[in-house]
Amino acid sequence: MTDDIRKRLDPEASIPKHVAIIMDGNGRWAKKKGQPRIAGHKEGMNNVKTIATAASHLGVKVLSLYAFSTENWSRPSKEVNFLMRLPVDFFGTFMPDLIKENIKVLVTGFTDHLPDRTRKVVLKAVEDTKGNTGMILNFAFNYGGRAEIVNAAKNLALKAADGSIDPVKIDDAMFAGQLLTNQLGDLADPDLLIRTSGEERISNFMLWQLAYSEMVFDKTYWPEYSVDNLVEDIKEFDRRDRRFGSI
């Protein structure tokens, strides 16, 4: 598969090192099929394996997936409970595939506030794949961009108050060092953000990190988002001219 899928892109194509995806449209996909919303989340979960494998074969270094936001707690409890169980299903089913693909799992989010079972299974997946050297599959789970920035500001204020940093010296790098994505090092900022389902907004995802990301809004609902869609969206990225504020 590696060669096959890579051949679909120009050999000179620029592959985004960090791809972030807002996996939207599970509920609408389910409605279209006359099924309950949770059926859409289940199908969406299965699609994570397909797209993560393809991204890894295309040479993507980090794939960040927005799986649960700090605002998603306001959904009906039946849906929240189902979403909290998804990592249990996902890692229970796909861990052998992740190991085979040499994929390293990370989680970016406020894991302390997750139900015990969810937190344990997510942290175990991180632990079990920590020696893998391939693509990083970064789940944004109980993640919110504003909460992340407030948390960073609070950490820096506490350090300034106890004298361990000089507040005058706070700069971009020091601030980014307090963000949850600091664990991704120099790959923390996505090169490409994809949002599925046709909605065109950021929804509190990686507010700091998306400063210079290219954005592609794909009309496909996440459960139907295919390897073809991913290849097309990466081709679109390759056509963009990134200037980072310069000329």
DSSP label at residue 182: G
Is 45 near ligand FPP (CB under 6 A)? yes
**Tokens found for residue 47:** 């699609």
Is the dihedral angle over the CA atoms 225, 95, 114, 158 positive or is it negative? negative
Please report how close the Cβ of residue 27 comes to ligand FPP at its closest, in angstroms.
2
Contact region with ligand FPP (CB under 6 A), list: 83-91, 103-111, 123-131, 176-184 = 83-91
Is 121 near ligand FPP (CB under 6 A)? no
DSSP label at residue 13: P
**CA–CA–CA angle 27, 30, 32 (5° rounding):** 110
Residue the block writes with tokens 């099929």: 33
Is 41 near ligand FPP (CB under 6 A)? yes
Is the dihedral angle over the CA atoms 8, 13, 16, 20 positive or is it negative? negative
Whichever of 87 and 190 has its CB closer to ligand FPP, that residue is: 87
Is 72 near ligand FPP (CB under 6 A)? yes
The response to whether 37 counts as a known ligand-binding position is yes
Give the neighbor-by-neighbor strand order of the sheet with 62-69: 104-108, 136-143, 62-69, 18-22, 192-195, 214-217
Is 195 near ligand FPP (CB under 6 A)? no
Q: Which one of the listed residues 3, 4, 10, 24 is annotated catalytic?
A: 24
The response to whether 24 counts as a known ligand-binding position is yes
Q: Is 155 annotated as catalytic?
A: no
CA distance linking residue 185 with residue 136, whole number of Å: 12
Please report how close the Cβ of residue 156 comes to ligand FPP at its closest, in angstroms.
30
Whichever of 90 and 205 has its CB closer to ligand FPP, that residue is: 90
Whichever of 56 and 152 has its CB closer to ligand FPP, that residue is: 56
198: Cα separation from own chain's centroid: 18
Which spans of this chain sit near ligand FPP (rule: CB under 6 A)?
23-28, 41, 44-45, 48, 67, 72, 83, 86-87, 90, 139, 197, 222
